Amino acid sequence: MAGRESKAGEPKQTSPRVEDGELFPFKTDALSPIAAVPPLKITKPRAKAAKPHYHEHRSRLRDRFDEAGPGALSDYELLELFLFRTIPRQDTKPLAKALLAKFGTLAAVLAAPVQRIAEVSGAGPAVAADLKTAQALFERASKGEFKQRTIISSWSQLVNYCRLAMAHEPREQFRVLFLDVKNQLIADEVMNHGTIDHAPVYPREIARRALELAAAAVILVHNHPSGDPKPSAADIAITREIVDATSSISVKVHDHLIIGRERVESFRSLGLL
């Protein structure tokens, strides 16, 4: 026991001394389990992350659309709203404004080639794909509407459909609307794509296709990528050749429309048919 006198020759045993400031009356080293226990850290709870600045803006825009309809939104706001699903975690207002600044109108944005859409900062492949999908939906819906009606009595609807499909095409495109005896649409077919100022057209090919579809009449449509829909001498000449080819099989050419960016010219209205 501590404090007992030792026998002769034996080392004297003493109690370990507790130095001032020591917690334990024994030494610890790097291998001691007590020394290896790290000190307890007390951390404050993190503050809740603030919502992105555009979060409330999106909610307000959706509410306006739901309550007042699309007419209450400007073009860039409607485009911005459309882009919400494509870009869920980013402010889409700058991109919507940039697209409209580059292409001019909503119709031009939808009709723009994928490569040109990609030139706009922030418009990646997903944005381009969604815009082209929207264009295809609008074209299909427009075609479906006037398929159920007599085209000649729905002139404005026909013109709107053609403008949506062709006004912003970067290359010249020649298409033919094949009609039955009631002037209802049988088929709408692109007969050829061309360059920025010419699309080769083959009158006999149009006549052959009219026979295959049992069409009674056709409306010819092509666009001028330059934006000016004034008929050229070549436009007038090829129209006469098509009239000759189709009249031989009793198919009538009702009209030839030239689609520009801002307006449409009609051969019949101009006295060229």
- pLDDT, one tens digit per residue, over 35-88 is 555 666 666 666 555 565 566 777 888 888 888 888 888 888 889 888 888 888
| 55-139 classified as CATH 1.10.150 | yes
| C-alpha to C-alpha distance for 183 and 217, rounded to whole angstroms | 7
For the chain, what are the domain ranges? Answer: 55-139, 151-266
- What average pLDDT does the chain have? 80
For the chain, what percent of residues have pLDDT higher than 70? 73
Which DSSP letter does residue 24 get? Answer: S
How many angstroms separate the Cα of 94 from the Cα of each of 77, 85, 255? Answer: 10, 15, 43
Give the residue, 261 or 20, on which the prediction is more confident.
261
Bridge partners for 174 per DSSP: 192, 222
Instruction: Return the minimum-mean-pLDDT range out of 75-79, 169-173, 187-191.
Output: 169-173
Side chain identity at 131, as an amino acid letter?
A: L
* Domain 151-266 classification at class level: alpha beta
| C-alpha to C-alpha distance for 83 and 95, rounded to whole angstroms | 9
pLDDT attached to residue 56: 72
| C-alpha to C-alpha distance for 114 and 64, rounded to whole angstroms | 30
Q: What is the dihedral of CA 221, 222, 226, 232, to 10 degrees?
A: -90
Instruction: Tell me if domain 55-139 and domain 151-266 are identical in fold.
Output: no
